[in-house]
Amino acid sequence: MLDNWADANMQNWYNDQAYNEVWGFVEKGQEYAVIGSANGTTILKITDQDKLEQIQFIEGLELNAIHRDYHDYNGYLYEVCDEGASSLRIYDLSYLPDSIHLIYDDNSHIIRSHNIFIDSTSGLLYSCGNTNSFGADAVKVLSLNDPENPTLVYDYNFVNYSHDIYVRNDTAYINAGNEGMKIVDFSSPTMPIALGGITYYIDKGYNHSGWITANASTYLLCDETIGLTFKLLDISDFSNISVLSNTKPTTFDNTVPHNVMIKEGFAYFSYYNDGLQIYDIRNPSSPKRIAYYDTYTVSDISFRGAWGIYIYLPSGRLLVSDRKHGLFLFDYDVPPNLNNASLEMGIYPNPVSNGTAYFYFKQRKNTSFTLSIFDLTGKFIESYQGEDDYLKISSSKYAAGMYVFKYENTITKKKQTGKFIVAPINH
């Protein structure tokens, strides 16, 4: 954890539900975060010193909101709320770093919305669980051709309700609650075409949210139901979608996945009670948890704790919102991709040349171990404690030469050794 921000006036809000969604964006090369709260929206600067600095608070129309949602597009921030007499709000970000300006606050298209998603390839905003003065729509599609004046394109109601949605290149993956997940082609947005979906699957619950991998072959589904697993789906054939694997963190039996994002083969979750959870899903048939940080340690009460996750800041820093404790800023070193390597155990890369290396051990199941480093004379250098496949090693203080590592499983006492080289540093 790098930093944590919270408004002291919000800390004791009803049932630890002071905060909700988080989003990140870049304006003029500077990274920013936005977090929703019961009373409104807060904009924060993410400094080069890894600090969260509040820039502005904007009071909401509804002052007891549990659900707010955000998305940015072409220099604008879009905000919705799912409580009270709310609206669609649009903020001009060009005035940053001083402030953002509210330039649109209108309820003709949206009074309440549970979630929004903007497909940047077509400039379409998708509003889920939408209500306005004419009634309710599962998904309302708005054009952002004029980003300051959205216009209605289509009202999609071929499901009873849409809780959330992910859209890429006009293909929408709709989380339809108890109806499952539906895939729809919106390339002609006034004539959407159903492509497929999945209604029944293992450990089925309330189909809440999801994300797809870069190659669009795998979809990760989060069911917002106490104690259920997340699922990795094979979506290479929309007409024959299947579950490749399902799992969950082992820290809390009644854990609930809320939101997820995927980058470079890793899934980043905001888990109620269990906080930030990171899984290696490069082999979708065998996902493995490789990192976590619990943001809510008070008690194991369902639906409290981490709410939102944002992972696409250029710096690689991660944003997590916690319902009680506000906004968290994390740094994370992504482990190397060794899926295609023959290495079962060893130091990677070898020789080590940049001051950083990883001890890699392809384990069937995570287990605690000690890794000790010796020089060729047998002199002990240092030791590390690990339990995952990857263990980061700082070799910057090692002189150039050959070294020996010794692995010892702290449970079975199994021992293995190997060698690696530290290359000279070129100046």
User: How do the domains of the chain map onto residue ranges?
Assistant: 3-330, 345-422
Mean pLDDT, the chain, whole residue set: 93
In the three-class reduction of DSSP (H, G, I as helix; E, B as strand; rest coil), residue 8 is classed as helix
- For 10, phi then psi, to 5°, come to -105, -5
Q: How confident is the model at residue 426 (pLDDT cuts 50, 70, 90)?
A: low
Q: What is the pLDDT of residue 356?
A: 82
Contacts of 130 (CB under 8 A, 6+ apart): 110, 112, 113, 136, 137, 138, 139, 140
Gap between the Cα atoms of 152 and 349, Å rounded: 53
Closest by Cα among 425, 369, 367, 371 to 398: 425
What's the average model confidence in pLDDT over 2-28? Answer: 88
Q: How confident is the model at residue 396 (pLDDT cuts 50, 70, 90)?
A: confident
Q: How confident is the model at residue 18 (pLDDT cuts 50, 70, 90)?
A: very high
Q: How confident is the model at residue 15 (pLDDT cuts 50, 70, 90)?
A: confident
Cα angle for residues 252, 254, 260 (degrees, 5° grid):
85
What's the average model confidence in pLDDT over 245-253? Answer: 90
Q: How confident is the model at residue 252 (pLDDT cuts 50, 70, 90)?
A: confident
CB 71 within 8 A of CB 57: no
Q: What is the pLDDT of residue 370?
A: 94
Omega of the bond leading into 424 within 30 degrees of 0 (cis): no
Q: Is the dihedral of CA 294, 296, 297, 299 positive or negative?
A: negative
CATH code of the domain occupying 345-422: 2.60.40.3080
Gap between the Cα atoms of 79 and 135, Å rounded: 20
What element of type H or E holds 407? Answer: strand 401-409
Q: Which residue has the tokens 């992972």?
A: 311
The gap from C-alpha 321 to its chain's centroid, in whole angstroms, comes to 11
Q: What is the pLDDT of residue 12?
A: 62
Q: Look at residue 213 and tell me whether its pLDDT is greater than 60.
A: yes
High-pLDDT (> 70) share of the chain, %:
97
Q: CB atoms < 10 A from the CB of 243, how many?
A: 17
The number of C-alpha atoms within 13 Å of 392 and in the hemisphere containing its C-beta is 12
Per-residue tokens: 381: 């250098």
Specify the CATH architecture of the domain 3-330: 7 Propeller (2.130)
Q: Which residue has the tokens 């708005």?
A: 142
At 50-75, the pLDDT tens digits run: 999 999 999 999 999 999 999 999 99
Identify any residues that bridge with 401 across adjacent strands, giving them in sequence order. Answer: 422
Closest by Cα among 118, 23, 131 to 86: 131
Q: Look at residue 425 and tell me whether its pLDDT is greater than 80.
A: no
Identify any residues that bridge with 373 across adjacent strands, giving them in sequence order. Answer: 382, 405
Q: Which residue has the tokens 């004029």?
A: 146
Q: Look at residue 343 and tell me whether its pLDDT is greater than 80.
A: no
What's the average model confidence in pLDDT over 385-410? Answer: 88
Same CATH topology for 3-330 and 345-422: the answer is no
Q: How confident is the model at residue 341 (pLDDT cuts 50, 70, 90)?
A: low
Q: Is the dihedral of CA 140, 144, 148, 152 positive or negative?
A: negative
Identify any residues that bridge with 424 across adjacent strands, giving them in sequence order. Answer: none
Side by side, the strands of the sheet bearing 318-322 are 3-5, 326-330, 318-322, 306-310
What's the average model confidence in pLDDT over 379-388? Answer: 90
At 136-189, the pLDDT tens digits run: 999 999 999 999 999 999 999 999 999 999 999 999 999 999 999 999 999 999
What's the average model confidence in pLDDT over 285-312? Answer: 90
More confident residue, 312 or 346: 312
Q: What is the pLDDT of residue 11?
A: 59
Looking at the whole model, is its pTM more than 0.85? yes
CB 167 within 8 A of CB 183: no
Gap between the Cα atoms of 306 and 327, Å rounded: 10
Of 23-37, 156-170, 178-192, 413-427, the range with the lowest mean pLDDT is 413-427
What's the average model confidence in pLDDT over 248-260? Answer: 91
Q: What is the pLDDT of residue 99?
A: 97
- Name the pairing type of β-strands 171-175 and 164-168: antiparallel
Per-residue tokens: 162: 């849409």
Q: Look at residue 14 and tell me whether its pLDDT is greater than 90.
A: no
More confident residue, 9 or 234: 234
Per-residue tokens: 360: 């890699």
Q: Look at residue 427 and tell me whether its pLDDT is greater than 70.
A: no
- Per-range mean pLDDT, top range of 251-260, 286-295, 318-327, 410-419: 318-327
Per-residue tokens: 144: 């952002």
Cα angle for residues 131, 223, 84 (degrees, 5° grid):
25
Per-residue tokens: 246: 């399902």
Q: How confident is the model at residue 302 (pLDDT cuts 50, 70, 90)?
A: confident
What's the average model confidence in pLDDT over 325-346? Answer: 80
Gap between the Cα atoms of 220 and 229, Å rounded: 11
